[in-house]
Structure formats: C-alpha cells, structure tokens
Amino acid sequence: MELSEVYKSILDNMNEPLYLCNPEKDIIYINPAAEKLTGWSLQEALAKKCYEVFGDEEQTCRDVCPVEKIISRKGSRLRYEGNLKTRSGNIKRFKASISPIYEDGKLSASVIVIQDIALLREMEQSEIRTMGALEKEIKERKKAEEALWKSEERYRALSDATFEAIFISESGICIETNQMATAMFGYEYDELIGIFGTDVIAAESKHLVKHNMLSGYEDPYEVIAQKKDGSTFHAEIRGKMTEYKGKSVRVTVVHDIDERKKAEEARRQSEKTMKAILAASPAGIGLVRNRILGWANKAMYNMVGYEPGSLFGKNVRLLYPADEEFTRANRELYRGIKETETGETETRWLKKDGSIICCYLQSSPLDPSNPEKGIIAAAVNITDQKRAEEHIHFLNQQLMKTQESERQVLSRELHDSVAQDLSTAKIYCDLLLDDPLKSKYPELKQKISDISGALHNSINAVRNLAYYLRPSYLDDMGIVEAVSQYCKDFSHNNDLNISFRAIGMENLKLDFDSEINLYRLIQEGLNNIKKHANARQATIRLLAAFPCIILRIEDDGRGFDVKKRLTAAQQEKRMGLRSMEERVSLLGGQMRIHSRISEGTKIFIEVPGQKEDPGGIFDVQ
C-alpha cells in the first residue's frame, strides 16, 4: 500500500500516535507522534514487525494477534490495551483502536491509533488546562479529519479510531456518523441516522445549535448535550461545511468536556473560597517570587498604607527601612523554608507615610521542590504588642529597681538602727552579768545570760538579713568579691561545696543595676540547689566574653524534667526559675536550662554587653 503525499501530510500532523501495518505485520508507516512515543524513527520502524515496536511478541502475540483478529472479523473495529517497549527500554501502557483499510474489496493495511494511558491519566488529573491549548489541539485534529474525509474508506478507518463523536448531516439531517457517537450518546448506529442535529442536544442549547447550523458557524462553542436515557453532559461542538459524495454537507465534531467542566467549576469554587478567606483574613497575605511582590490581599495593603494593587511587581525591599534589616529578615525566612519548609521572623516595615511598624512574618513555598514558583508570605502587625511588651519590660525594671531601693533602705535601717539597739541591749546585759551582786541572785544571772545569748543571735540574724537585702561587699569591693564571699558563707552555712571562679571580670565596670541582678541570679540559683537538688557540689562560673557576660551555674544533684518542671512552676506559681528568667529578660539576655533525672542541672545565662573604651570595659545592657 502506497501513501500519497496528501494522506501522509495529514497523518504526519495528527497529534495521536498512529501506525500502519500490512497483513504480514510489517510496519509500513508511523507518524511523528508515534516516533516521539516509541523513540523509533520512521526509517528504523519500516524494517520491523509491528510487535517489535508496538508490543511484546511473547505477551501480545502469544495468544491471538490484534491484527489477525481484525483480519478475521472482516471490517470490525477492535479496541484493546497493551504494553509497548520504547527504544530506550521503558515499558508504556497504551490503549489502541485498530481498523482495517480495504482497497478494491481487499484488505491492504490496518491503521492503529494509540493513546498513552499514563498521559491520559495525567490529563484527567490536571485541573488547569487553558482554553487556548485545547482549541489548538481541536483545530489540529479537525484539519486532519477534514482532509481524511475526502476518502470514504480512509475516513471510516480513522473516524472510528478517534475518541470524538463525528456527525455528517445534510440540511440538518444526520446521514453518517462514527462508532464513538453511538458510545457517547447511547444510541445504536441506525438510530442516529436520520435524526435532526438538535435531537441530541438538551433543550437549553437547542436554539444555539440550530442557529449555528443554519448560519454556517465554524468556531468551537459549548453546549449541553443529551443522551438517549435523558442524562446530559457538557460538550464542545465545532462544525464546518464541506463536500461529501458530491453533496454539500456539514461535518460536526462533538467533544465530551464534562470532566473538564466539573474540574473548572471545582476550581472556580475553590478560588472563590480562597478569595473570601483572603479578603476576611486580618493578616496580610501575598505571593512573593524572587523578592518581587505579586498579588496581595487588602489587609496587606492596609497594613503598609498603599493603595490596593499599587505594589504589584515591586521589590519587597521597598517595605524595609534599611538594607541591613531587609537582608537579615530574608535570610531568616529563607533559611527556615530550606530547613523546615516554613520560615518565620520578626522585623520592621516602612509604611508609605514613613512610619515604622513591627511585623511578624511567616512564609511557605508554593512548591518545595521548585522555589522559583514563589512563596506565600503572611504578615501580622505586632506594633501594639511590641509596645505593650516594652512597657511591661519597663515597668518590671522599675519594679525591681524599686524593690532594690526598698531593700537598701531596710538593710540600712536594720543595720544602723535595729542591730545597734540590739547591740546596746546586749551590752547592758553583759554589764549586769559583771555586777558583783550577780552571785547573790544565781537565777537572775541565768536569765540575764539567756537574754544576752538571745540578743546575740538576734544581732547575727539582723545583720545576715541586712546583708542579704543589701550586700555591703557589692558596694565596697564589686561583683566578683561579693559573689566570692557569698559563696563562702553559703557553703559554710549549708554544707555544700561551691566552686566559684570569675574569668575576665577584673577590669569590668558594671552599673549597679547590672551588678545587683547578676548577684541576685547567683543567690536564687544557689537557693534552688539548696531547696530542690540534694547536691553535694555546685559550680559557678562568671565569664566576660565580649560582647557578652556568661554566667554558668551547675550542680551534681538529682536533676529534673525541664519541660515538666517549668510547666508545673507556672501552674503552682513557683518563683525560683521564673524569677531568674525575668531578671535575665530585663538584662536583655537569654537563659537555657539543661537537666536530666539523676544527672544534675546546668543553667547557662548570657547577657549582652557594650564596650566603654578600647581597654575592653563594657556595660551590661
């Protein structure tokens, strides 16, 4: 069988893979689509049997060859599924429609049209398919079909192999159709012959179809089609006038687009829902691709004071007050996206009017495997929250300063007044004990001695309390000596070995607020060890490491579950660890706790500092 240049051109331009083989199973033609699917060129395929390219001899031809089946049926069309092995060795599953081609009443060849099942499934699952691409595909198919209809035999072979319904009508009456039309509409072939074109159209679309048929309209349009059982489906119709057997007829192609329309409707509903969510969201939400802002909701524009849409296509650098903040915030965001697929940070944005707001940003990629598609960024204005936090922080600082001032007053009063009065009373008691008359009244002597002893204990207690409230060493000798003396006294009074060491602190000049807070942290840390740890050894290290001061408190006690203890402390309103955390926060630092049952506890405190001079002195902030 020889293919004319006209037919070869038609077949070459078909989108569906197609090949022809003769009754001896020799491949006599494959179109470019089949070349692409199999990896075999036309010249390579012409030297092969059909099963060598489009099947597996052991699997496909072991039973009855599809080509032999179609020969034996003498005119029947056959649909089947099979596997083909590409030139590269890959196995692909396909659907095929095979039809015989007769010349002068004798079988000359079989035409096999193939559909890649994997590609079909991919197309079914795709929710987004542009109308332009669909129209192009339909136009290409129609060009090929219009050319093939010039030959009735070849028209029959190819039209029966297509997956679209085809009607040929004269004056609106169907005079020919294909097998797909019977399957699509549920009629027998003889039932379709003689019907009017609108008989397979639902009532709401009949007027449109009739008008387009009578006016010769040729562009694709959508209608509601109706099956024999009365059920309806969405269809795309395209018709064109042509010559058929010497008559002027209209060829109409019907494509079932019901699944596509359902997907489009689902997508539209999803988009409406998403738009409603975005419009109602108090958070600013936008799409950023390569640092360029795409769409953004109204809340985003309201947050930064711009007109909706005015930032589209602008670099997000516009929203930051300085390059350094832009670089830092984006570095943190994209590092989080890379590590956990979610980035977050707190930053400052510059509004259109020049004012600054504090923002919390969180972002996630549209496609983690392809960052170029962009990220979804959500922003919340936390300016009021930050101001409230700063105010609370300021109030807490003032509260602690007030507490320390009150402690100083109490300490001075206890030391200068109460302790002095007690000392005076003790002196008088001691004088009475030295009186010669004491021998005459032994019972009185004992009572005076007891009072003197009680006064001595009270004097020590008052002095210790005054020292606790305001350690005199801190004022006189600085933080290192004060802590050293406190550790010695604490060790002596509580049977606890304490190893204290200060590194790099000798030349530091700290303000009193910083010194007293560091001192209190060590006090509270040791008191916690005494109350809860049952430890024998404690270690305290105070280290100056510019630009920070590091305090480390360790013990070899019983340890605890950090998460449970902190939760319980909050519920039971325990002040030990919470008080330490608050002091560290007031210093602008961080505190970390590491502990395990029976393995002791380690507390790491780091507070920032600032150099005062080139010699390395800095203030704790």
Q: Do residue 327 and residue 408 come from a single domain?
A: no
Contact 543, 507 (CB under 8 A): no
Q: Do residue 79 and residue 171 come from a single domain?
A: no
Contact 92, 118 (CB under 8 A): yes
Q: Do residue 212 and residue 322 come from a single domain?
A: no
Contact 543, 504 (CB under 8 A): yes
Is the bond preceding residue 547 a cis peptide, omega within 30 degrees? yes
Residue 184 falls inside a structural domain? yes
**Cβ neighbours for 524, distance < 8 A, ≥ 6 positions apart:** 576, 579, 580, 583
Residue 269 falls inside a structural domain? no
CATH classification at residue 27: 3.30.450.20
Sign of CA dihedral 329, 331, 334, 340: negative
Reading the block at residue 546, the tokens are 């510019």
Amino acid at the residue 605: I
Half-sphere exposure of 485 (CA within 13 A, CB side): 14
Three-state SS at 236: strand
Q: Do residue 478 and residue 614 come from a single domain?
A: yes
Reading the block at residue 347, the tokens are 């930053």
**Cβ neighbours for 213, distance < 8 A, ≥ 6 positions apart:** 169, 172, 197, 198, 239, 250, 252
Beta bridge partners of 116: 94
CA–CA gap between residue 34 and residue 18 (Å, rounded): 6
Reading the block at residue 216, the tokens are 């010769």
Residue 212 falls inside a structural domain? yes
Q: Which residue bears the tokens 């020590």?
A: 460
Residue 587 has a pLDDT of 80
Q: Do residue 479 and residue 614 come from a single domain?
A: yes
Please state the domain count of the chain. Answer: 5
| Alpha helices, H only, 341-441 | 383-413, 419-433
Reading the block at residue 264, the tokens are 């489009």
Beta bridge partners of 46: none
CA–CA gap between residue 115 and residue 118 (Å, rounded): 9
DSSP 151-213: SHHHHHHHHHHSSSEEEEEETTEEEEE-HHHHHHHT--HHHHTT-BGGGGB-HHHHHHHHHHH
Q: Do residue 482 and residue 588 come from a single domain?
A: yes
Contact 354, 272 (CB under 8 A): no
The domain of 50 spans 5-125
Reading the block at residue 606, the tokens are 């780091």
Neighbours of 351 (CB within 10 A): 15
pLDDT < 50 stretches in the chain: 62, 127-128, 148-149, 611-621
Give percent of the chain with pLDDT exceeding 90: 25
Neighbours of 497 (CB within 10 A): 11
CA–CA gap between residue 247 and residue 49 (Å, rounded): 41
CA–CA gap between residue 237 and residue 212 (Å, rounded): 10
Q: Crossing angle for the helix pair 442-469 and 383-413, nearest 10 degrees?
A: 150
Residue 139 falls inside a structural domain? no
Residue 135 falls inside a structural domain? no
DSSP 316: G
DSSP 543: E
**Cβ neighbours for 328, distance < 8 A, ≥ 6 positions apart:** 345, 347
Residue 613 has a pLDDT of 39
SS (H, E, C) 85-141: ECCCCCEEEEEEEEEEEEECCEEEEEEEEEEEHHHHHHHHHCCCCCHHHHHHHHHHH
**Cβ neighbours for 54, distance < 8 A, ≥ 6 positions apart:** 19, 38, 82, 84, 96, 112, 114
Produce one character per residue of 371-406: b if its CB has 16 or more CB atoms within 10 Å, e if not. eeebbebbbbbeeeebeeeeeeeeeeeeebeeebee
CA–CA gap between residue 500 and residue 592 (Å, rounded): 20
Residue 451 falls inside a structural domain? yes
Q: Which residue bears the tokens 């944005």?
A: 349
CATH classification at residue 609: 3.30.565.10
The H helix count followed by the E strand count for the chain is 22, 21
Sign of CA dihedral 315, 318, 324, 330: negative
Residue 349: Cβ-neighbour burial (10 angstroms; 0-12, 13-18, 19+): buried
Beta bridge partners of 223: 235
Last residue of a domain, one of 331, 354, 379: 379
Amino acid at the residue 608: P
Residue 158 falls inside a structural domain? no
Q: Do residue 114 and residue 15 come from a single domain?
A: yes
Cα angle 141, 147, 152; round to 5: 115
Last residue of a domain, one of 71, 102, 125: 125
Q: Do residue 189 and residue 321 come from a single domain?
A: no
Q: Do residue 502 and residue 578 come from a single domain?
A: yes
- In degrees and rounded to multiples of 5, residue 20 shows phi and psi of -120, 140
CA–CA gap between residue 166 and residue 180 (Å, rounded): 8
Last residue of a domain, one of 445, 468, 491: 468
Residue 463 has a pLDDT of 67
CA–CA gap between residue 232 and residue 225 (Å, rounded): 5
Q: Do residue 46 and residue 9 come from a single domain?
A: yes
The 3-state DSSP composition of the chain as helix, strand, coil percent (nearest 5) reads: 50, 25, 25
CA–CA gap between residue 160 and residue 168 (Å, rounded): 14
Beta bridge partners of 381: 359
Residue 315 has a pLDDT of 92
Neighbours of 6 (CB within 10 A): 12
Three-state SS at 382: coil
Residue 149 falls inside a structural domain? no
Q: Do residue 484 and residue 570 come from a single domain?
A: yes
Cα angle 540, 613, 328; round to 5: 80
Q: Do residue 305 and residue 374 come from a single domain?
A: yes
